[in-house]
Amino acid sequence: MKSNTKAMHDAAQKTEAIHQEPGPFTLLCVDDEANILSSLKRLFRPHGYRIFTAESGKQGLDILEQETVDLVISDMRMPEMNGAQFLERAREKWPDTVRILLTGYAEISAAIDAINKGQIYQYISKPWEDADILLLVKQALERKTLEREKKRLEALTQRQNEELKELNTSLEQKVQDRTAELRQTMDFLNLAHEKLKKGFLTSIQVFSNLIELREGALAGHSRRVADLAHKIAKQMGMSVLEAQDVLVAGLLHDIGKLGLPDDLLKKPFSSLTLEQRSEVIKHPARGQAALMALEQLKGAARLIRGHHERFDGMGYPDGLAGEDIPLGARILALANDYDSLQIGSMEDRRFTVDDAAAFIKRNCGKYYDPQVVDAFFLVTGLKASPPPSSGTRELAVRVADLEPGMILARDIMTDDGMLLLSKDYLLDEDLISQLANFEENDDKPLRIFIKAGRR
């Protein structure tokens, strides 16, 4: 019994060590010119790095022997041991340390030699731009962070395997729980190897969780959209990587809303004022911009930008139509609207599952790609009932002729594809006044159709 308790205690200590957060990044700057070293220290110190300096390759190697260094910046031209030789020796003993070479224009051939032998991450020409070298170091350390996280997950997985072997066979439920955790961890690792390679899927989960927290009562929307969109993508024969882009875009499609005030997030889109709508419809472009810095997310970011485009070209932000809209964005548009209708964030009432499906069918070829609509009904198993016929007549009217109580027969759209009011909306004095102000400011007449005989 004592032996088993000690083993569990040791296991807990090892697991705790795996979860410990690393300290600040450590930089080593090597140059035989003191003024260069001073410049580099002044440049990097405000960013929270631990900084060591060496005036020769030998001093640099001595520091590497004594300190754990994440990134080395070395000048090329130094006496006794040049930068290429120094970085080659650093690679042999400390391969995980990121290596950057400072070189003059006349030393390009030597820089190429350093790339081949020292396997440097990048070289920078002197004189450098402060912003460029700061960005380069930031990107290199971000990459190292992802590598560190991947190793941490692998160590955690290995440790969990060991714990599973140590568990008593009588603890069957505990074995099942641990196995489930192990499988989940392995799934994340497999996704990281296939697409993101450096374990950056952890960041995706963090972003998605932040969005879920921001959505409050609507939490769960992003996950449901991602799940449905992923199923449709696979049904339509998209590749594994393309379908994964759709999944990631679904999880993050509302990331551009993080900066919006609470009162806009809590109201259905159809009940917003024109000014409020003009602010909300910026979120697809903002979402793309927020993710473009990450190379692995550029594909998903492109889908996020297009997830409010319409098949008939009347969507936003770019007014794309048909197959000019990326297929993943067409899928995401349908999945997003289907869930939004049911939770009441799109219209001022909550749709039932059947009503939401009927809305999708009714707008097939208008809002949604017919092929995506077909795939949607296949994966959900819902009945694709034909839309009910309507004998309602409609009249074209000017804004000046609108009266409270009139009901819209069609969506009101601007020339650039922005939806102002949706079909079946009951007009009141405030909305009519907003439409008049919008038309006056835009200096273009709005095309408005109302239901005849409906007041």
CA distance 178 to 320: 48
Mean pLDDT of 309-326: 92
pLDDT for the residue numbered 168:
60
B/e letters for 389-426, b = 16+ CB within 10 Å, e = fewer, are eeeeebeeeebeebeeebbbbbbbbbeebbbbbbeebe
With tokens 């005036």, the residue in question is 55
Residues 6+ apart with CB under 8 A from 242: 233, 299, 327, 328
pLDDT for the residue numbered 43:
92
Neighbours of 69 (CB within 10 A): 20
The alpha carbon of residue 412 and the mean position of all alpha carbons in its chain are separated, in whole angstroms, by 32
Q: How confident is the model at residue 264 (pLDDT cuts 50, 70, 90)?
A: low
pLDDT digits (tens, 9 = 90+) for 343-399: 887 777 788 888 899 999 999 999 999 999 999 999 998 876 554 444 557 888 888
CA distance 364 to 84: 62
Residues 6+ apart with CB under 8 A from 438: 274, 420, 446
| 162 against 314, higher pLDDT | 314
Mean pLDDT of 408-428: 74
Neighbours of 186 (CB within 10 A): 14
Q: Report pTM.
A: 0.45
Mean pLDDT of 396-405: 86
Least trusted range by pLDDT, from 57-71, 207-221, 332-346: 207-221
pLDDT digits (tens, 9 = 90+) for 100-154: 988 875 566 666 666 666 577 888 888 888 998 899 999 988 988 888 888 889 8
Backbone angles phi, psi at 439, to 5 degrees: -65, -40
Least trusted range by pLDDT, from 71-85, 301-315, 388-402: 388-402
**Is 80 exceeded by the pLDDT of residue 304?**
yes
**Is 90 exceeded by the pLDDT of residue 210?**
no
Q: How confident is the model at residue 1 (pLDDT cuts 50, 70, 90)?
A: very low
Please name each of the domains of the chain with its CATH number: 26-144 (3.40.50.2300), 213-380 (1.10.3210.10), 394-451 (3.90.105.10)
